[in-house]
Amino acid sequence: MAKTIQAIRGMNDILPNQTPAWQYVEGILRQLAAAYTYQEIRMPVVESTELFKRSIGEVTDIVEKEMYTFDDRNGDSLTLRPEGTAVCVRAGNEHGLLYNQTQRLWYMGPMFRHERPQKGRYRQFHQFGLEAFGMEGPDIDAEVILFSARLLNELGLGQHVELQLNSLASNEARAAYRAALREFLRSHEEALDEDSKRRLDTNVLRVLDSKSPQTQALLVNAPKLSDYWDDASRAHFSGLTQRLDHAGVRYVLNERLVRGLDYYNRTVFEWVTTDLGAQGTVLAGGRYDGLVEQLGGKPTAAVGFAMGMERIVLLLEALEQLPAAASLDLYVLGADEQAELMALSVAEQIRDMAPWLSVQNHSGSQALKKKLQKADKSGAERALVIFADEQGLRFELKHLRERELAAVEFNDINQLTSYL
Ligand code: HAM
């Protein structure tokens, strides 16, 4: 026997028994996006490597060690997109969607990061992302966060997630803070974990994210980013929190929330759960006012987020928040060879007159008893048995789930819906 071929580690099939959960989530996303007037954009999965280096940042985990990068047959360096924001900006610049206008966009699709796979963390995963361009004020930050709050509430997850909020302020404020943090950490370098030591020079803000308890303990006395906020960023943040307060959205300020991508300024936020183990961030984003210009466009304010679809589906499963699977309405079978000839066209007639019904045809020639067993196994609510004789067709509609109910018989298929 030939050896079977397996999927790539960290890249999962989404099987037929899982797709209803995905479709349920996707349905809510689409409906909300329309309600908030965000338009869909569909973008390539492969982009030039340069795009991600210039946007996410050369010394981030993603660019340093997680990208699927390869030379194509022309020798160009290409990368499977690790995220959608940079791609969205690239597309917006390329097609003139961003200059001197506002845009509300969303996208959904696979992203690729070569991380160590574990529950909630995969090498191919899916994001729903939302990006708003050309709006500077804190009202749009609030809108984007309200969207995310409504989304999580509609999914029934509101009680299981917490909104964490921070401001990374301006580039200048952050640079000053970085210097102060570096100086502080240097004076305690011996107490730092190896990763944090390395980050001292390359990306010192990420030390705030360190998982090491010893480093975290050290950070208690470290300088605080909010002490370095510039006035405009402080006002922006206060404008945001006031709006969230008015809308009744609760949040916690997390001074150490810095995000793993370099393009952010001012607002950053994450929705976090404790119900998923280590990979608890289900949705994350923030403002990135410098990115459009950094990628060759005109200065354009921007804010957005992305949600990890796998994590949402896992959470819905863990909390048993998924709607019951849709059942099959009708299983159609011919009682004998003569009736079998008619079964497909009868099913077509049913689909014409009652398009909302799910109808499955029996396939194959077997004894009636066997066919009825198949009907039962299909999970259908009812079986429609077709009999054919000289007088024409006769139908018997049997209840498969409530057997105590009597079957009904009729001669005209148009009567079917009155018995359902
Ligand atoms: P991110 O924090 O890198 O941000 O990813 C957003 C979300 O994608 C995470 O919170 C998580 O739910 C999910 N995610 C990330 N990596 C994985 C993985 N390996 N497996 C499963 N899920 C994962 C961004 O990507 C930004 N582009 C978000 C954004 C949009 N900021 C502004 N606009």
Write down the H helix ranges in 38-170: 49-56, 61, 85-94, 138-154
| Size of the chain in residues | 420
Chain segment 179-233, per-residue pLDDT in tens = 999 999 999 999 899 989 999 988 999 999 898 999 999 999 999 999 999 999 9
pLDDT band at 325 (very low <50, low <70, confident <90, very high): confident
Answer whether residue 326 shows pLDDT above 90: no
Our answer on whether the CB atom of 129 is closer than 6 Å to any ligand 1 atom is yes
Answer whether residue 49 shows pLDDT above 90: yes
The residues with which 333 forms a beta bridge, in sequence order, are 385
**Can you give the pLDDT at residue 385?**
98
More confident residue, 129 or 420: 129
Query: Which SS3 state, helix, strand or coil, does residue 376 take?
Result: helix
Mean pLDDT calculated for residue range 93-120: 97
Centre of ligand 1 to C-alpha 284, Å, is: 6
**Can you give the pLDDT at residue 1?**
87
Our answer on whether the CB atom of 141 is closer than 6 Å to any ligand 1 atom is no
Centre of ligand 1 to C-alpha 194, Å, is: 25
**Can you give the pLDDT at residue 172?**
97
pTM score of the predicted model: 0.94
Identify the DSSP state of 66. I
**Can you give the pLDDT at residue 274?**
93
DSSP 298-356: ----EEEEEEEHHHHHHHHHHTT-SPPPPPP-EEEEESSHHHHHHHHHHHHHHHHH-TT
Centre of ligand 1 to C-alpha 32, Å, is: 20
**Strand duo 330-334 + 103-112: pairing:** unpaired
**Can you give the pLDDT at residue 324?**
87
Chain segment 55-83, per-residue pLDDT in tens = 999 989 999 999 999 999 999 999 999 99
Average pLDDT over all residues of the chain: 96
